[in-house]
Amino acid sequence: MQTYKIFINGEWVNSVTGKTFSSLNPANEQILGEFQSCNYEDVNKAVNAAEKAYPEWSNVPAPKRGEFLLEIARLLRKNKERLGKLVTLEMGKIYKEALGDVQEAIDIFEYMAGEGRRLFGITTPSELKNKHCMTIRTPIGIVGLITPWNFPIAIPSWKISAALICGNTMIFKPSSDTPLCAVELVKILEKAGVPKGVVNLITGKGEDAGNAIIRNKKIRMISFTGSRDTGEFILKNSGIKKIGLELGGKNPIIIMDDANLELALEGVIWGAFGTSGQRCTAASRVIIHKKIKDKFEKMLLNKVKKLRLGNGLDKNTDIGPLVNKKALEKVHNYTQIGLKEGAKLICGGKLLNKKGYFYFPTIFTNVDKNMRIAQEEIFGPSLAIITVNNLQEAIEVCNSVQYGLSSSIYTNNIANAFTAMQKIEAGIVYINSSTIGSEVHLPFGGVKQTGNGTREGGVTGIDEFSEIKTIYVDYSGKLQKAQGIN
């Protein structure tokens, strides 16, 4: 059994703790490797390395930093199939989705490389003569990146690429469910020639390594994707830092009575059961007009019952396993909650009787909007169907949860579409498409309890990982006072 190391100051080393933990293949529960259980001493070493590397890296011209990102993208493309297989082995998603995970990383590194020739500031007229006003972007400093397991290559790449192009150095801590993907990603950064100390990899539990990262006073920013409760803990315990949070979702698909039902059916199946429902953008609620509810349910059941569970490397598999035993138990617990609340279970609701963390696609109907299965993030292949009378009621149900990440409406009525665009409380709205499928050159994030207003992706990713400096140049040769003061 191979024991993997952490990456500090350009070297692969063991943790000072001497302790390790295992990463499992969720399809068969076999151990993939042993990984370092880091503590605050390891984090301090990584921070010191990042601090030492920062002056030189931040002084590299941004277009030159972009060349490193292009080389990373090239190596990711070269290793796409190998990394895709690794994602399936360690996280469980089916192989074609795992390839998409890696492609997303390729795309974001290529996009952020181009930002090295932009990093735009603004110029604006002064209210005074012979005075110039402008803004420039500067790096933040050392940033802490804490990433989840469901997109073990893509989400770290969103953060790392933006942090690198802006001139920051970083401490990267992946989920303990997918440390091997993180190790292989950092090996690619190393091979691309990223200078030592710029990127440092720490593995281990959140209460140890993660806690040390968020409390370290030299780390000036935390970017976190994960659960709402952990995000709240970070806000309360990180001190005065820049904080970027992308938390949960309880994403709806509205289906109106004028919708193309075949198209909506494809969107619901992809949104609810792609990645076994383990996406923050997964569609966990279908809000459907009463006129078409019965017809659509029959169509949905006919399709879902044909979905095949299994190892994601099997080309015949439609749905892979959940990531671990705890996730499996959580999803099944919500099935019991739904039954106790009086919802009608029409599909699934049980574990697959074989080794691995498999759960059948589960559908509840006759769900009330206030039931827990309609309000709380389950993060598994569980779908609640809620019936409504009109668009206004649909939007009210849509907005009745604490989250606001992604959303969708299927309709052929342009007025319905534009009303939804305006009234749905979410960071992302899809028209006649599913709730998943964000593109890297556009902002990604949500409202309400989904986060704290930050957005990754596109130019807003640059906003997240840079500071704005306002500059005034007075060439009048005398003291000029603003606001009309003589």
Residue 329 has pLDDT above 90, yes or no: yes
| Mean pLDDT, the chain, whole residue set | 98
* One domain for residues 323 and 205: no
- In DSSP terms, which residues pair with 137 in a beta bridge? 468
On whether both 261 and 202 belong to a single domain, the answer is: no
Predicted pLDDT at 128 = 97
Q: Which two tokens stand for residue 359?
A: 């759960």
| Residue 222: C-alpha distances to residues 45, 75, 129, 240 (Å) | 18, 27, 41, 11
Is residue 181 annotated as part of the catalytic site, yes or no?
A: no
Is 481 contained in some domain?
no
**What's the one-letter identity of residue 363?**
I
For 100, what's the count of Cα atoms within 13 Å in the CB-facing half-sphere?
14
- Whether 393 is catalytic is no
Please state at what angle helix 95-115 crosses helix 154-165, rounded to 10 degrees: 10
In a domain, 173, yes or no: yes
Number of domains in the chain: 2
Q: From CA 356, how far away is CA 362, in angstroms rounded? A: 18
Whether the per-residue pLDDT at 151 is higher than 90: the answer is yes
- The residues facing 287 across adjacent strands are 254, 386
The answer to whether residue 438 sits within a structural domain is: no
Same domain for 188 and 299?
Answer: no
Token pair of 287, please? 């809000």
**Mean pLDDT, rounded, for 334-355:** 97
Eight-class DSSP state of 325:
H
* 86 and 172 share one domain: yes
In a domain? residue 479:
no
Q: Looking at the structure, do residues 310 and 164 belong to the same domain, yes or no?
A: no
- Which entry of 104, 110, 184, 246 is annotated as an active-site residue? 246
The tokens for 214 are 């968020």
Evaluate whether residue 485 is within a structural domain: no
- What CATH number should be reported for the domain holding residue 186? 3.40.605.10
Mean pLDDT of 58-76: 98
Contact 148, 210 (CB under 8 A): no
Q: What share of the chain has pLDDT > 90, as a percent?
A: 99
Residue 256 is assigned to a structural domain of this protein = yes
Buried b (16+ CB within 10 A) or exposed e, 257-270: bebebeebbebbbb
Domain match, 73 and 27 both: yes
Distance of CA 190 to the CA centre of its chain: 23
200's enclosing H/E stretch is strand 199-201
For residue 480, tell me if it sits in a domain. Answer: no
pLDDT in tens, 206-232: 999 999 999 999 999 999 999 999 999
Reported as a pLDDT band with limits 50, 70 and 90, residue 273 is: very high
Same domain, 270 and 407: yes
DSSP state of 192: T
- CATH assignment of the domain containing 269: 3.40.309.10
Same domain as 255, residue 243: no
- 360-415 pLDDT per residue, tens: 999 999 999 999 999 999 999 999 999 999 999 999 999 999 999 999 999 999 99
Q: How confident is the model at residue 23 (pLDDT cuts 50, 70, 90)?
A: very high
Q: Is the pLDDT of residue 315 over 90?
A: yes
**Residue range(s) defining the domain that contains residue 223:** 6-247+451-471
Contact 283, 253 (CB under 8 A): yes
The answer to whether residues 172 and 202 touch, using CB atoms and an 8 Å cutoff, is yes
Q: Tell the burial category of 476 from Cβ atoms under 10 Å away from its Cβ (0-12, 13-18, 19+).
A: exposed
Q: Which of 97, 280, 398, 464 is catalytic?
A: 280
Can you tell me the mean pLDDT for 149-156?
98
- Going from the C-alpha of 332 to that of each of 101, 180, 248, 268, 358, the distances in angstroms are 27, 28, 19, 21, 11
Do 135 and 216 belong to one domain? yes
Same domain, 301 and 406: yes
Nearest to 76 by CA among 34, 110, 49: 110
Binning pLDDT at 50, 70 and 90, where does residue 486 land?
confident
> Is 273 found in the same domain as 229?
no
CB-CB contact of 349 with 307 (8 Å): no
pLDDT score at 346: 98
Q: Is residue 484 part of a domain?
A: no
Please tell me the distance from the alpha carbon of residue 177 to that of residue 91, in angstroms, as a whole number.
7
Cβ(446)–Cβ(426) under 8 Å? yes
In a shared domain, residues 143 and 14: yes
* pLDDT tens per residue, range 430-475: 999 999 999 999 999 999 999 999 999 999 999 999 999 999 999 9
